[in-house]
Amino acid sequence: MEVSVVAKTGIRSVKSTQTNPILPALKHALCAAGDFPIREAIVNDLREISQKPDVTVEELTSMVLAEPTLGARIVHLVNSAYCNSSTEILTVSQAVIQVGMRNLVDLCAGLIRVQSLTQGKRKGDFFQKELAHSTMTSILARSIAENSSKKNLKDAEEAFIAGTLYCLGQLLLSFYFPQIYGAAKQRAENRGYSVEKSLSELLGLDRASLNLAIAESLKIPDFYKAILIEAKPNQKLSSSPLARILPQADQLASKILQSDSAKNIEEAIFKISSNNQSLSEQQLRKATIEAIKEYSRYLNLANLQNLPEPAHLKDFVSDAQNLVSEQQDDESGQEVATEEFKEYVDEIKEAIESREPVSSVIASVMEAVAFGLGFDRVILMLINGPKTALIGRMSLGNTINFDPKSIARSLNDPEIEDAVDIKCFMSGNLTTEGQALISDSSCHMALPIGYKNGSLGVIYADKMGGLEVEPCRKMQTCLSILVEILDEAVQASS
């Protein structure tokens, strides 16, 4: 299918990745400009520090990595100019040792310079935001790598450079082709999804294809090319831990820079850790705290104070450092069986990928709620044919002397319009507030099975006895994951 793209670059249509004109246009822009952008001041700073007799490899490396795209570019330059194919250089510290500090600075001196990253134009605005995202992703990738394994300078540098390369396609598009990027951004805002998805639709190139083409053009080592190929969201079969880290770092960077509260970051941390058994919530939270602190230091070190630093980041760091999740859960009387819940989520996602019937997925979600999250009763209610009432179908848990098929909940009954199940179905959202379905409930909620017009019904769950409480933060995050899974199953079956 042909997709039209209007831009000053002369690009008019994209028919396939093989005939896509954006790649040669981008390569031509790189060649014409001489390189992708770095600041004038960084070369002078590097030259000055390299002349100090007591400067260490770590100090020079830290300064290089403070310039978001420079580390990846140095890896390319050193491999092209100094090394044969059997001795690839993968990190900046290796490059310093291989070619020497002075030679490394001379290589940097030939790169294109950008006096200001914000130029008061749309191009500057787009580039600034992508630069902030790239920087945060790279820092997070390094921090996650350090917190999920033994601290190792080589591993940390590889993660940082890989993070840069993972974001490089969109970064360069925002710099060289702001018209295309702007069109994709507007399309994303109109349709309510990410710029990445919008660019993929407009250009016929997914992120991996775009990044890999740039990496090949810049002759980036095969080590990084393999990671870029494997680094895909929800990829569990990757042989590379680093390839699994990159989508997580990218997703979390978006949430950190775009959200408006510390709570949203906490929810993102729990969602990502729940979908990744190799990284605990505690490890990811610690990595995030370190990355946010490092991001602030980077902005100052690289004179990038004009990049966004959301005000709520300090609140998150302050709150997260004092957070003891287990104590909070105990105080609210809730416990979340995280590992068991993860197993249920993994099984349900596999069922969706295997195209199992939506009824099977619904049954598995009910089991996850009952046995993974510890609810006493779980009841399935489906919408009737005329779409006027929710009808009980089946139940799990402590439902002795209770027949779920006796339930009939009219959507037009004013006496129950504030009930949690009715509010859930009408809104299409996870609902934890409202009248309980059963009077002896102490904690209740309802999950929509699909959203609004496509909704098939709701799953109601509650706990019995005790003081009345709302599901805790971690519980609500787990439930939100199940809502997304249910909608995915409904969409796949339609």
> Cα-atom radius of gyration of the chain, to the nearest Å?
26
With 90 as the cut, is the pLDDT of residue 381 above it?
A: yes
Which pLDDT belongs to residue 410? Answer: 93
Residues 371 and 438 in one domain: yes
Residues 420 and 297 in one domain: no
Residues 386 and 444 in one domain: yes
Asked if the structure places residue 145 within a domain, the reply is yes
Which residues sit opposite 461 in a β-bridge?
378, 445
Contacts of 488 (CB under 8 A, 6+ apart): 352
* Candidate from 14-23, 210-219, 235-244, 385-394 with smallest mean pLDDT: 14-23
- From 291, 321, 351, the end of a domain falls on 321
Contacts of 74 (CB under 8 A, 6+ apart): 64, 92, 95, 104, 107, 108
Residues 427 and 317 in one domain: no
Q: Number of folded domains in the chain?
A: 2
Residues 122 and 238 in one domain: yes
Maximum average pLDDT range among 153-157, 200-204, 272-276, 296-300 = 200-204
The values of phi and psi at residue 461, to 5°, are: -145, 145
Which pLDDT belongs to residue 382? Answer: 93
Decide: 410 and 442 in contact? Cβ < 8 Å.
Answer: no
Which pLDDT belongs to residue 322? Answer: 61
Which pLDDT belongs to residue 389? Answer: 92
Residues 458 and 486 in one domain: yes
Domain with 360 in it = 338-493
Asked if the structure places residue 39 within a domain, the reply is no
Asked if the structure places residue 45 within a domain, the reply is no
**CATH label of the domain that carries residue 174:** 1.10.3210
Residues 217 and 310 in one domain: yes
- Summarize pLDDT for 72-98 with one digit per residue, the tens: 777 777 776 555 545 677 888 887 777
Q: Average pLDDT over the chain, rounded to whole?
A: 75
Asked if the structure places residue 154 within a domain, the reply is yes
Asked if the structure places residue 396 within a domain, the reply is yes
DSSP secondary structure string for all residues of 208-275 = HHHHHHHHHHTT--HHHHHHHHH--TT--S-S-HHHHHHHHHHHHHHHHHH-SSHHHHHHHHHHHHHT
Contacts of 63 (CB under 8 A, 6+ apart): 42, 45, 46, 49, 301
- From 276, 292, 321, the end of a domain falls on 321
**CATH label of the domain that carries residue 422:** 3.30.450.40
Asked if the structure places residue 360 within a domain, the reply is yes
The tokens describing 13, both together, are 């249509």
CB atoms within 10 A of CB 112: 13
Decide: 479 and 445 in contact? Cβ < 8 Å.
Answer: yes
Residues 308 and 358 in one domain: no
Residues 313 and 346 in one domain: no
Contacts of 205 (CB under 8 A, 6+ apart): 14, 17, 20, 22, 23, 199, 213
Q: Which of the pair, 64 or 225, is modelled with greater confidence?
A: 225
Residues 144 and 229 in one domain: yes
Asked if the structure places residue 174 within a domain, the reply is yes
The values of phi and psi at residue 38, to 5°, are: -135, 170
Asked if the structure places residue 373 within a domain, the reply is yes
Residues 131 and 230 in one domain: yes
Residues 309 and 343 in one domain: no
Angle at 209 between CA 208 and CA 210, to 5 degrees: 95
With 70 as the cut, is the pLDDT of residue 445 above it?
A: yes
The tokens describing 34, both together, are 């001489």
E strand segments, 38-189: 38-39, 113-114
Let me know how long the chain is: 494
- From 287, 321, 355, the end of a domain falls on 321
Q: In whole angstroms, how far apart are CA 79 and each of 32, 116, 142?
A: 21, 29, 22
